[in-house]
Structure 1
Amino acid sequence: MEKKNKVTMSDIAREAGVSQATVSLILNNSRSVKLSEETRQRVFSTALSLGYKKMPAPHNDSGQEEIALLVNAMPSYDPFVDALSEAREAAWRNDTLLTVYDYGDDAELAVRIIAQLNQRRCAGIIIASPITQSIDFSPFANQTQLPVVLLNVYDRAFPLLPTFLPDDRANALQITRHLIDHGATRIAHIMGDNWMEACEMRLEGYREALMQAGMPQDDQLVQATNWSLNETYRATLDLMKLPEPPDAIFCSSDWMTIGCYQALTELHLRIPQDVLVAGYDDQRIADQMTPKLTSVQLPYYELGRMAVEYLCSGEDAATRVIMAGKLKVRSSTAG
C-alpha cells in the first residue's frame, strides 16, 4: 500500500489559489495583514478537505490568555528547539498563545519580564533552558503569583515546582547496553564538561550498564572535553593509543562525534567494522553522517507538550516528570 504524503501549506496554497504566506497567516490566525473573510474561509475549507493535521482551534481574539516561556538562551539549532515547537503547538490546541522570551541567563531581566506578565492575562510561566541543568529559582519565587513550571531545568530547593526533564542516566544506560549487545567489550565514553550534572548523569548511566554486564570500569576509557570537535578529535586519538584501545566509543553529543569520526578516519579505522560509535541527542546531522549515527532521541516534543498542558489544565499538584528517550539505531553500530 502506498504511503500517503503529508499535506503541507504549499499543497493548500496551490489548491486554494493563494500564496503559501497567505496560508501561513490564515492558519496561524494572524490579523497583522488584512485578508478578506472569503479568502480565510477558502483556505480553511481547502485545508480541511485535504486532511491537514494541524488545524488551529477556533480563537476568541478578545482577551486571549498566553503562556510565557522564559528560556536562558536560544540556540541556532539544538534538539531543545523541538520542545519549543511542540509547546507552541500544544498551546495553540488549547486556545492559548505561547510567547517566548530569551532572558540570556540574566535573572534581573527575567524578573522584569515576570513583572510585566503579572499585569497581563497570562495562564502561567515556563522557565526553560536548552541545557539540562539546575537553576536558582529563588530570584523568581516572590515575583509572581502565576503558576510556574520548569522545563529541562530543576531546583532541588523547590521540590514542589512542577518539573519536566529528560532522563540522562537512563538514556546513557540504554546506549551503552546497545553497544554491549553488539559485541563491544571495551567501551569508551567521551564526555562534555565534567562539571555539568547532565554529563555526570550520562557518565553514571554508562558505568551502570558496564556494572550490570559484569564488565570492568577503566578510568582511561573516560575522557572529559569541552564539547568541541577539536577536543573530541584529540580524545579519540588518545583513546586509540592505549595499549588496549576501545572497540566502541560513546560520545556525549552527536556534534562531538564529528571529531571522533575525523580521528578514526585519520587512523584508517572503519566504523563500525573496527570501532562502534554512538552519539547522544539525535540531532539532524545523525542521519546525514557516513555512516549514519546511532543516537538517542531526547523526549523534548513530549516534555514541551506536557509542560504546556499542565498549565492549560489548571493543575496545581507537585509533578516531576523524568522521561527517557528513544534509541535510534543506525549503521554506526549496526554494521
Structure 2
Amino acid sequence: MEDVFNEFEELIQTGLKNNMSRDGKLITIGQIIYAVTRDELTNEEGWKLEEMMGGRTQWEEALEYSIFGYPVDTATPSLDKPLVIAGKTFHSRLMTGTGKYRSIAEMQQSVNASRCEIVTVAVRRVQTNAPGHEGLAEALDWTKIWMLPNTAGCQTADEAIRVARLGREMAKLLGQEDNNFVKLEVIPDAKYLLPDPIGTLEAATQLVKEGFAVLPYINADPLLAKRLEEVGCVTVMPLGSPIGSGQGINNAANIQIIIDTVKIPVVVDAGIGTPSEAARAMEMGADALLINSAIANAQNSPAMAKAMGMAAEAGRLAYLAGRMPVKDYAIASSPETGTVTSK
C-alpha cells in the first residue's frame, strides 16, 4: 500500500504545482476512492490524499458538480464539522467491530470498505486468543485505525475496570501510546445481554479518575446518560435494541431525549440491522454509530460495510439539512397560480 500511496502523493503534488484543473482533481479523487475500495490504499491513506487536495468537502463538491453540472457550493454548502471525542478528531461517523466475521480477511475487507476510523476490540478475547480472534491484534494497521478496547464479557464493575487497564496497555503495545479510550461494557445478563446501569456508573466513575476516556454502553436511559456525562464520560452509547438482534431502533423516544439533553456525543450502539435503520438513527441527531453484527452477519460483509458507511453519511446530512414538517393533510406540490380553470 505504501508504494500506491507514494505514487498518488507524487501525482497530487505535481498536479497542484501545475494548477491541476477541476476535472483533473475529480479524476484523481475517483482513482483514490477506487484504490481504497480495492484495498490498495487504507482508509487513513485515502483521507490523507483527499486532504492534500483540499479536504473531503472539495471532492464531494467536485463529484456532485460532475453529475449535476453546477457548482455545489450554491446548492448544498458544507454543513458539518468533524466528530470530536475526547479531543481527537474523526472524519467518519461509523465505528465498527471485529467479532463474528467468517474470517480475518473478511473483517479486514469490511473495515476498509466502511471507511471507519474507529474499530472496537474485545480485550479479553484478544488477550486469550479466543477462537476467531487469533492474530486479531496484528490483523489491522493500528497506525491508520484508532483502537477502541472494550470490556465485553465483564459481569461486574471490578472486572470491567481490570480489563480496561489491560486494554490501555494493549493499545500501547500496538503503538498507540496516547490511547486512553475504553468502551465500557458491564453485562451480567447472559440471556438478553442488557448492560448493568449501576455497575456501569460505578466503573465509569473509577475509570474517569484513572484518566480513561470512557465510552459507556448503556440502555437508552436518559437519566443514566446524564449522570455518566456528569462523572466525565466522553460519550454515551445507548442501545437501539438488544445487541445482535437486528431489530433496529426500538426505543426511539428515549434515544431522542438523550440526544436532546446531553452535551457529549451520542453513539447509537447495538440492534441496527439495515442501512435504513442506521440512517434513521443519524437523522434523529445521533453523532455516530457503532455497527458490528449487521455487517459481520451479512451475506456480503464488505458490501454491507460500505452501505452502512454511506447510510451514516446520508442520515447525518439529512439531519443537518432539516426535514420537512409532518402534516395531517395533503398539500399540493404544484403551484396554485397560473392554472387553467373552468367557469
| TM-score under structure 1 length normalisation | 0.26
**Larger RCO (CA under 8 A, 6+ residues apart):** 1
Flag the structure with higher helix content: 2
Please, what TM-score do these two structures have when normalized by structure 2?
0.26
